[in-house]
Amino acid sequence: MECLIGMAVGWFYLSVLALCSLGSMCILSTIYWIWYWQGGFAWDGTVLMFNWHPVLMVTGMVVFYSAASLVYRLPQSWVGPKLPWKFGHAAMHLLAFILTVLGLHAVFDFHSHRKIPNLYSLHSWLGITTVFLFACQWFLGFAVFLLPWASVQLRSLLKPFHVFFGASVLSLAIASVISGINEKLFSSLKNGTNSYSSLPSEAVFANCSGMLVVVFGLLVLYILLASSWKRPELGMQAERQVWGFGLPFQVGVGPGLGKGHPVKTWALPGRPTQ
């Protein structure tokens, strides 16, 4: 495993550096767009309250969600107990979900004050579907993969679906952000001297911000799908031992790990430890 980790660490951290830079640029460019061209922020039911919506959705549904999804790609998570990384994964996703709910509250409250109908556009349908799938994904993950009641067979059965819908939610979130930027520009750039089709400076900047989100999301999806950066499957029994539900184990030295790298080998009924 040392060889596997050594091969992946360099490229991984280079990609992490690029992701941190792109993620920060996505958030800061959205804040700058709203602050400079849309009048800033408030929490008073006016359009300034709506302005929190794009910032919170980009921060929560795209950047923080992506960071939470990549927890298991950290090489440090490849060895040792998996449970602490599960808590980190769940906690970061919960933070992303809280920011997302605040972003929804901002737009719904603004619509309520202005007597504007909710959920009538394609962007809103796509966005609310994304948030619903995110909520289902989090609660399923918490119930099955974090709590100790689920069997190894059930976790193995549901894991491919959990991974698939995790990547799907991120893809839908990116699509929602892009459609939301487009919808906001169409609604705010209406007059003939400053129409969207004439590509004023606000449109160019907001379009570039949207492209940053796309590039960021594609890089995250690449890292999630790259097999060389996935945690090696050493068995799920150790997780049950941490909770006190596992079988007895002995500490040994895994093949290829060398001295000083103990791993747990399980004493299965009728089968000697290796």
Q: In terms of Cα–Cα distance, which of 204, 165, 213, 217 is closest to 55?
A: 213
Domain range 45-230, CATH class: mainly alpha
pLDDT of the residue at 69:
94
Question: Could you state, in order of their start, the residue ranges of all structural domains in the chain?
Answer: 45-230
pLDDT tens, per residue, the chain with 274 residues: 555 555 556 777 788 888 999 999 999 999 999 999 999 999 998 999 999 999 999 999 999 999 999 998 887 887 788 889 999 999 999 999 999 999 999 999 999 999 999 999 999 999 999 999 999 999 999 999 998 888 999 999 999 999 999 999 999 999 999 999 999 999 999 876 688 989 999 999 999 999 999 999 999 998 888 767 677 765 544 443 444 433 333 333 443 444 444 444 333 334 444 4
Q: In terms of Cα–Cα distance, which of 128, 123, 134 is closest to 94?
A: 134
pLDDT of the residue at 2:
59
E strands, the chain, where?
A: 249-253, 262-266
pLDDT of the residue at 3:
58
Indicate the DSSP class of residue 144. Answer: I
Residue written as tokens 């300034």? Answer: 48
The H-or-E segment that residue 123 falls in is helix 122-141
What pLDDT digit, counting tens, does each position of 170-197 carry?
Answer: 999 999 999 999 999 999 998 766 889 8
Distances in whole angstroms, Cα of residue 22 to Cα of each of 209, 216, 220 = 10, 6, 11
pLDDT of the residue at 230:
75
pLDDT of the residue at 122:
96
